[in-house]
Every structure is written in structure tokens, then in C-alpha cells.
Structure 1
Amino acid sequence: MDINFYKYQGTGNDFIMIDGRSFSLGPDPIPYIQQLCHRKFGIGADGLILIQTHEDYDFEMCYYNADGSQSMCGNGARCAVAFASFLGIIEHETSFLAIDGAHTATISGNSVALRMGDVKEIKTVDQDFFANTGSPHHMRFVNKVEEYDVVSTGRQIRNDSEKYPEGTNVNFISTLSPDTIMVRTYERGVEDETLSCGTGVTACALVYGEQKQKNNINIQTPGGNLQVSFEKSEDGSFQEIVLTGPADQVFTGTISVN
């Protein structure tokens, strides 16, 4: 089977994009996804995204992690918006469906501002924190996150079956200035550190913003810079959450898979 694909990246989080409006990976797409995302034997990516038609929205984003599991991906969704714009499905604004529900977004140049889903609460886990921003995220504040052992510590927390029977993503945070944090993330489904994680930096911005009484946070990741703004309601939930950052097409091609 020959597959036409596009490669996109959002602050180093990279994705294989496929126009799925008239194409299907078949009833069991997982082996294809694992092969395509493999960095030695395939194209190589943190995940794969199919853009599909939907009668009630501009498009539907079907996101798969590199291991074939499904989740919400903030950077992937921003890249999906850029891809939909490239395909001529949308212009500057869009409403689309993802695994966690409906989202809206705007695009200007290579900058995509994505409206995330509301977050009910931030939970305390021992000395750390947890929030679900469309995907589950454990968060820990550390000193000098650039020197921290993200992979081994993240893998240990991710596989803590007592606390997280279904696993979790794990984020490590350091404060750089009153309005800026640095975040590194160990991603479930990739099973390694990624250069950036959109749902992860969103969760980190919420917990930092709540502590510091700020609602517009700049986030540095190993792959680039993002911004998160939000509003906190009287019941303690977080609303009007917007994740903003770049989304770029890297290359395109055709690959044959068995």
C-alpha cells in the first residue's frame, strides 16, 4: 500500500499527517501506525494524524501515538489545524472534533491558537500535581529541569500502576521568571521524552498560574516556546484555555507499507 503523507512539527513534537477524507488505513491501523512512526524503519514521528470529514465540524482529527494508542494531543491538534488550512478545508478559523470533544482554533501564518477543553480541577498527588487536559498529566516542580533525569524518573511515575492504572504522562517544571516556566515531558504512548507536549504544558501552566495568581504563562520546552492563557471560574475550574504556538510543515512524500 502506498501512502501519501506530510510531516509536521509543533515545537519539536512531530507528526505524520494523512488526508483521510478519501483514504483509510483499514480496520486494523495499529501495525501501520507503529511502522510509519518508527524512527529507524519508517518515517519517524511522535504520532500520526488522520484528517477526516465530519458532518457537524470542519474536520475530525484522529490522533494516534507512536505505539498506536489514541489520546488528545495539543501540539498535534495545532498541526492538524495547519494541515487543514494547507488542504484548503479551513481559512483562518475552525471548529473540529478530537477524541476529547469539540475544539475551536485560529491560524495566522504558522501560529495556531487552540482552544483546549475545560479542566475541572488540579489534584494533589503526594508532593506533586495531576490534571487531565484531554490527556492525563502528572506534574512535578524541580530545580534545574534542564539537568533533571526526565526519562528514568518519568518512566517510573508513568508506570506506577497503583496511582495510574492506565498510565500517565509526566511533566517536570522549573520557574525561569514570574511569567515563564520551562517544561520537559515524558510521554505515555511514545515512552520517551519528547521535545514538547501541548497538553502537558497546558497542565503545567494551569498549576503554575494557580499558585502564582497568573493567567497568561510563557512556556519554554526543548523544542520551542508556547503560551497558555486561561480563566479560572468561581467553582475552581479552568475555562477559556488557549494554547498558542507554531506549527510547520517539514516535508512531504510517499511511502510503501506492507
Structure 2
Amino acid sequence: MTIDFFKYQGAGNDFVLLDNRGSEYSNLTSEIIEQLCDRRFGIGADGLILLEDAEGYDFRMVYYNADGRESSMCGNGGRCIVAFAKRLKIITTEASFIATDGPHKASISADESVVLQMTDVDEIEVTEDYSFLNTGSPHHIQLVNTIKDVDVKTLGSKIRYSDLYGAEGSNINFVQQNSADSFSIRTYERGVEDETLACGTGATAVAIAMHNSGKTKNTQLTIEVEGGTLTVRFDRDGDKYQNIYLGGPAEFVFSGSIKINNI
């Protein structure tokens, strides 16, 4: 089988995108998806995304982690699939799509910057050492003094596989405050099982957790990730965060075809 693929990246968080409106890629196994995402023996990516038809929406987003397993929402992947949909001429500047966590709206500008509406957040667990919330994917948020000194893979893996989150695990974010409206983060992503250069749902979770904990009063924040800069803005109504928008680049990298023999 020959697979026609498109590679996109959002602040260094990279994805293989497939146009599955004809259902030709619906039988991809987890082993094949893992192979496609492998950086030595495949295309190389943090995840793989299928774009599919969906009644009432411009398209459906189906997301798989690099380990080949279907996963929860990916914010940067969501922004990249909007850019992909524009390339396929499914949309022009506005998009409405459905993902595993529900419906999303997005807009794309001429410079390939995408602003994506994220799911509302009305439950945040707060302890002395960390916050935990779900922004479409589960996120552990932990403040550190000097983010560059953190061994993200070792410490992130330890927390991810601890009894704190059980078999399902969580994404782990380490956060350094830079100013009243700017934070730097580094993220260990489950499914990738390593640090990634950016995490969209993680950046969103950090922004909300920092506001909720009183570290900032601003509702529009800059989140510096290893691969670039993301923005998050939101409204707060009582204990609920809504009108949450994640913004940043969503850039086409390259396209090609790859032959898979074991399918």
C-alpha cells in the first residue's frame, strides 16, 4: 500500500496528516502508525492525524500518538489540521470540525497562523505542589525555578507513570514564570513518551492553571515553548473558563508518498 502524506508542524510539534475522506486509510494498524511516526525508519512525527468527513462539520479530526494508539485532543495538531484543510480547499479562513473532545472552531490567517477554540474547563485540581486539569487532554502543571535545568524526560516519565495518574497517565508540564503575562514551559507527552518541542493542550492548561492560582491576572498570555511561541486567551465566569483560544503557527513542511509492505 502506498500512503500519500503531508507533514506539518506547529511550534516544533510535528504531525503526519492523511486525507481520509475516501476511507482508504481507515485500516491502518497501530503498528503501521507507529512506523510512520518513527524518526529513523518512517516519516517522523509526534503523532498522526486523519482528516475525515463529518456530517454538520467541515471535517473530523482523528488523532493518534506516535506510539500508534488513538489519543485525546491535540491542540497543535488541531491547528495543523486546519491548515491542512485549507490546503485541500475544504475551508478558506474559517473552520468548524469535530474531534474526540467535541466540536471546535478555528480561523487561519494568510501567514499560516491558526487560532483554535479549545474546550471549556470547569474543574481544576489544586495541591501545594501541582495543578491538574483537562483541556481536551489531561495535564499535570508544576512550577519550577529554572526550567532549563529540568530533566524533563526523567522527571516527566516518573510522574506520568506514578500512582498519581494510574495506567492512563498524564502529560507533565514544567513551568517557569517570566513576567506577569509570559510563561515558559517544557512538556513530557504521554504517547510520545518524551519531551516534545510544543504542546498545545499543555500551553492552554498552563495558562489557565497560572490564572487560577493567582500567578497572573491577565487573560491573554504568551507561552514560550521549546519550538517557538504560542498564545492563549480566555474568559473566566465564576469557576468556569470559557472562550478559550490557542494561537500559533501551523506550517506545511513537506509532502510525499511512502510504501507500506505489511498491510
Match of 1:233 in 2: 237
Show CA shifts across 1:145-188 (max 9, x none): 02211110000000013433310000000011111000000000
Residue 171, structure 1, aligned to residue 173, structure 2: yes
Aligned-partner residue type, residue 256 of structure 1:
K
Q: CA deviation at 1:230?
A: 0.4
TM-score by length of 1: 0.97
> Which runs of structure 1 show a deviation greater than 2 angstroms over 4 or more consecutive aligned residues?
23-29, 161-165
Q: CA deviation at 1:28?
A: 5.0
Range that drifts further, 201-210 or 122-131 = 122-131
Match of 1:10 in 2: 10
Which of 201, 204, 213 in structure 2 is aligned with 1:202? 204
What is the 5 A alignment of 1:1-258? 1-27=1-27, 29-69=29-69, 70-109=71-110, 110-210=112-212, 211=214, 212-234=216-238, 236-258=239-261
Aligned-partner residue type, residue 90 of structure 2:
I
SS at match of 1:113: strand
Show CA shifts across 1:32-84 (max 9, x none): 10110011110000000110011110000111000122211000000000000
| Distance in structure 2 (CA, Å) of the matches to 1:220 and 1:94 | 26
SS at match of 1:131: strand
Show CA shifts across 1:97-138 (max 9, x none): 001000000000211000000011221245111010000000
| Distance in structure 1 (CA, Å) of the matches to 2:164 and 2:183 | 29
TM-score by length of 2: 0.95
Cα distance change, pair 125–29 in 1 and its aligned pair in 2 (3 A): farther
| Distance in structure 2 (CA, Å) of the matches to 1:75 and 1:55 | 23
| Distance in structure 1 (CA, Å) of the matches to 2:120 and 2:47 | 24
| Distance in structure 2 (CA, Å) of the matches to 1:25 and 1:91 | 25
List alignment gaps of at least 5 residues for structure 1: none
| Distance in structure 1 (CA, Å) of the matches to 2:234 and 2:16 | 29
Q: CA deviation at 1:26?
A: 4.1
SS at match of 1:57: coil
Aligned-partner residue type, residue 105 of structure 1:
A
Range that drifts further, 242-251 or 206-215 = 206-215
Q: CA deviation at 1:207?
A: 1.0
Contact kept, 8 Å, 1:25 with 1:32, in 2: the verdict is no
Contact kept, 8 Å, 1:93 with 1:104, in 2: the verdict is yes
| Distance in structure 2 (CA, Å) of the matches to 1:26 and 1:91 | 26
Range that drifts further, 16-25 or 151-160 = 16-25
| Identity, % of aligned positions | 51
List alignment gaps of at least 5 residues for structure 2: none
| Distance in structure 1 (CA, Å) of the matches to 2:22 and 2:166 | 38
Show CA shifts across 1:185-242 (max 9, x none): 00000000000000001000001122122211101001000000001112x0110000
Range that drifts further, 123-132 or 191-200 = 123-132
| Distance in structure 2 (CA, Å) of the matches to 1:58 and 1:250 | 23
